[in-house]
Structures are given as C-alpha cells and as structure tokens.
Amino acid sequence: MTDADRVVVIGAGIAGASAADHLARETDAEVVVLERAAEPAGETTARSGAFVGFWGHESAATVPLLRYGIRYYGRLLSAAETEPRFVHGGRLRLATTAAGDDAIRTTFESDFNQVIRESTATETATKGAPVQYLSGAALDETLVLPGLATDAVTGALYSPGVGYVDDPAALARAVLERARAAGATVETGTTVTEILTEAGRVTGVRTTDGRRRADAVVAAAGPWNRRLLDTADVTLPVRNTRGPMLVLDTDEHGLPALYHEETGVYTRQNRDGSLFVGHFPGQYENASVLDPDAIGDDVPDARRERSLDAIARFLPGARDATVADEWVGVRTVTPDGDPVIGPTDVDGLSVLAFNANGIQYAPAAGRLVAADVGGFDPGFPTTGVAFGRLR
C-alpha cells in the first residue's frame, strides 16, 4: 500500500477513527472515512464495556500493541477538552467454587509461568503489568470491597492496571476530531456496498452515493467486515458473539470491574452508581457467524435472569435493582484470539478486525495501517496479528 494517494476508510467506529487519525497525521494520503449511519461510532463502539489495560492473559503478539494503545489514550485523554473520562479501579476475576478457583490458578500459573504457593498472594511484573492471585481468605484483607460477598469468593485474580473509558462513542468522536483537524474527511450517511478490485488490486468502493476511486481501502466496519470483504473475494475467518448489557440502577460503592469465572458474567461500576452487567460467552469455539443487522437491543429474558442470578452470588445487593437500560452488541472473535490487522491478499486492501477487545487495540491498528501506507516502521512487531497467519 506504500505511497497511496487516496485512502478510503470504511466505518467510523473506534477502528476507523484511529485509522483516519494515524493516516492523516502520519502520511501524505488524502483520507476519506465513509460511515453508513447518520452519526459516527453508534455501533459496537457505543455498546462496549470499553475496558483498557493489561488483564494478564495478553499474548506475546499483543503486548507491544497494547503498550502503544495505553500511551496513545493516556495522551489523548490528557487534553482538557476531551469529553470521555478514563476511570481506574482494576479488575477482579473471581471464582465462587473450588473448581473455578482451580481454573483461575491454572490460568495464572500458565500465563505467568509461576507456581502459586499455598495461601500466598503472588505478584508478577511480566506481561506488561502486575497481576495478583488472591485466595478467597486473603481477598477481604487486601482490598476494600463494600457490597461484594467476599465469603462466597474462593479465589481471584486482581489486575490493577485495568480501567475503562466511560463513554467509548465520545472517545471515537474525539479521535475523529483529531483526524479532521489533520485533514481527513468524514462522510456520514454513505453505505459502502462493494469493494472494487481489478487484477488483484483495490481500485475503490461502490457506495449508495456512487463510485469512489481509491488507491487503498481500509475495512474498519466492525462485525460487518466479513460481509464487506466477501465483495472483494477475501474471506475473513472470524465469528461473532452477542454482547448483552444490562444497566442496573444501584447505589453500590465504587468497586473494581468484576468477572465471574463460572458464568462469564461481568460488571462495571460507573461513577453515577449505575452498574453495567455484561456477559462474555467465550472465544471462537463458542461463537458463530451472526448477521449484525438482525440483532435487536433487547436482552433475551433467559439471559437477563441468568446474569442477574450470577451477580446475586457475589453482589447480593444488586440482585433486585431496577434495569434502567439494556442493549446487545455484536463482538467479532478470531480463531486464535489475536486481532487481524493489516494487508489482505488483495493489494491495497487492509482490514482491522479484533478479538472482542477493539477499544484496547484500535490505536495500534491505526498506527499499523498508517505505517503500511506511509512505508515506515510502526515501532512494534506485526507478524503475530497479520491476516496471512490465518490463511
């Protein structure tokens, strides 16, 4: 993609915003973002839990990319006029059964290559940030956790570096503003219907508004990427999972984010007291190909009951709280759990696809695409996230 004159970015979520920002600031290309909705960042990005930080299970391929993202967001969110706020608080992955505790210990020992000794909390500085194993007994003498039923917890992993961006749609809009300030154009209300190619090279896109010529095209259309790339005969081997979110009206104290090992139910305590209750159904083997246009915003009753029953085990006070809002987002998941970022088999056509956590990796994805177009080194290794590894 080196020396592209005109780059079309499809989609104005956090991925498209980051691509536009990096391309506009770091290359000479003319950058045009095409977004089908009337407003940017209203899809997966707006529905996200938006946690960012080292959890402890990052792969060797993604640690340097996450370091880049942490630096990027740290700088972006330091600017006084940016609307979104970063909220620290850490994350507790907690088990409430002996089997769950075993699973947590096994994960910790294999992820960090350390043996947990009986009743000792272990800390490590490898993999980007410290993560601590806490036995159920050690938990309530290590952290103040009002409202959490610590006696029900059999073991936990504490990742103090994890926090969240309180408004991920505003985050993407702030990134798009930077892109615009550096010369990028953002056109909303324009749907790309086909990626156009000739002799194995991208030539542009067809839109509801006519044809657009391009030297390079970046597919940043979230869960719509797969369908879009099909039009250029590129198979993106990703699947999807539903991301249901309930917003509970609670008056709990500030707690770290909680992830329940046995059920995949997780929470995010917001500054206004409300509690997000999400569900993570697992990775690629638990995923399927979904049509994102066919997923409504109502959390199915059975899912709602299961999520509320799960939090009753460790946050009893929240069980009967009113559900003030709800939605369902569509995650993309990849076969090996790492993102797919960069050039495809069609010359000039790149893709930005994540394994669930695109807020974390969008800055590095944007940097990688800009480095490819501009012909410079992104500053971190990229083979572990390359499209070609999945061919």
Interface residues toward ligand FAD, by CB under 6 A: 10-16, 34-37, 42-45, 47-51, 191-192, 220-222, 224, 228, 243, 245, 278, 329, 331, 354, 356-360
Q: Where are the alpha helices (DSSP H) in 27-123?
A: 63-76, 98-112
Shortest Cβ distance from residue 15 to ligand FAD (Å)?
3
Shortest Cβ distance from residue 179 to ligand FAD (Å)?
13
User: Which of 72/354 has CB closer to ligand FAD?
Assistant: 354
User: Which of 136/339 has CB closer to ligand FAD?
Assistant: 339
Best CA proximity match to 126, nearest among 118, 134, 114, 136: 114
Cβ neighbours of residue 42 under 8 Å, at least 6 residues apart?
A: 169
User: Which of 271/316 has CB closer to ligand FAD?
Assistant: 271
User: Which of 116/304 has CB closer to ligand FAD?
Assistant: 304
**What is the enclosing helix (H) or strand (E) of 323?**
strand 322-333
Shortest Cβ distance from residue 265 to ligand FAD (Å)?
12
User: Which of 94/138 has CB closer to ligand FAD?
Assistant: 94
d(CA 64, CA 339): 13
Shortest Cβ distance from residue 119 to ligand FAD (Å)?
32
Q: Are 86 and 167 in contact (CB under 8 A)?
A: no
Q: DSSP characters for 119-177? A: T--EEE--TTS-EEEEEHHHHTTTS--TT--GGG--EEEEETT-EEES-HHHHHHHHHH
Shortest Cβ distance from residue 113 to ligand FAD (Å)?
25
User: Which of 43/252 has CB closer to ligand FAD?
Assistant: 43
Shortest Cβ distance from residue 121 to ligand FAD (Å)?
25
Label residue 271 exposed, middle or buried (CB < 10 Å: 0-12, 13-18, 19+): exposed
User: Which of 90/317 has CB closer to ligand FAD?
Assistant: 90
Shortest Cβ distance from residue 164 to ligand FAD (Å)?
7
Q: Are 254 and 268 in contact (CB under 8 A)?
A: no
User: Which of 268/313 has CB closer to ligand FAD?
Assistant: 268
Partners of 258 in the β-ladder = 92, 267
Shortest Cβ distance from residue 221 to ligand FAD (Å)?
4
Best CA proximity match to 236, nearest among 250, 247, 222: 222
Q: What share of the chain is helix, strand, coil (3-state, %, to 5)?
A: 30, 30, 40
d(CA 217, CA 10): 7
